[in-house]
Amino acid sequence: MVRDEAVTPGYKPLSRYIANQQTAMEYSHRYRAYPTDEVAERLEHHLDVHRQLYNHVRWEYENSPADDKPSEYDQNNNLPEWKQRWPIFAELHSKAAQATVARFYHNLTILRKLKEKGYDVGRLTRQAPSEYRSVTYNQSGFDLDEKRGHDTDAYVRFSKIGWVKIRYSRPIPDHATINEVTFKKETTGEWFVSFGLETDDAVLPEKPDVDSLDASNSVGIDLGIQKYIHTSDGTTVEWLDLEDEYERLRREQRNLSRKEHGSNNWENQRKQVAKVKRHIRRKVLDYQHKITTCLVREYDAVFVEDLDVTEMLEQSHNARNKQDAAWRQFIQLLEYKADLYGCHVVQVEPKGTTKECARCGVETAKPIWVRDHSCPSCGFETDRDANAAMNVLKRGFAALGLGWPESTPVETVTATDTDDIHEVSASHVVETGSLSS
The predicted pLDDT at position 410 comes to 62
Closest CA to 232 of 81, 405, 60: 405
Sketch the domain layout of the chain as residue ranges. 24-201, 210-410+418-424
pTM above 0.85, yes or no: no
Tell me which amino acid residue 335 is.
E
The predicted pLDDT at position 77 comes to 94
**Has residue 179 got a pLDDT over 80?**
yes
The predicted pLDDT at position 210 comes to 87
The predicted pLDDT at position 309 comes to 52
Most confident region among 41-50, 127-136, 402-411 by mean pLDDT:
41-50
Q: CA 63, CA 237: separation in Å to the nearest integer?
A: 52
Lowest-pLDDT range of 117-131, 151-165, 332-346, 362-376: 362-376
Phi, psi (deg, nearest 5) at residue 191: -105, 145
What are 384-420's pLDDT values in tens digits?
888 888 889 988 988 888 877 655 666 555 444 444 5
**Has residue 4 got a pLDDT over 50?**
no
What are 290-320's pLDDT values in tens digits?
999 999 999 999 999 887 655 554 554 454 4
182: left (phi over 0), alpha (psi -120 to 50) or beta: beta
User: Helix %, strand %, coil % for the chain, to 5?
Assistant: 45, 20, 35
The predicted pLDDT at position 177 comes to 86
| Helices assigned H by DSSP within 206-352 | 243-257, 264-298, 309-315, 319-325, 327-341
The predicted pLDDT at position 358 comes to 79
258-to-20, 246, 249 alpha-carbon distances in Å: 46, 19, 14
* Burial zone of 184 (CB within 10 Å; 0-12 exposed, 13-18 middle, 19+ buried): middle
What are 377-392's pLDDT values in tens digits?
787 778 888 888 888 9
332-to-16, 307, 345, 374, 382 alpha-carbon distances in Å: 19, 12, 10, 33, 29
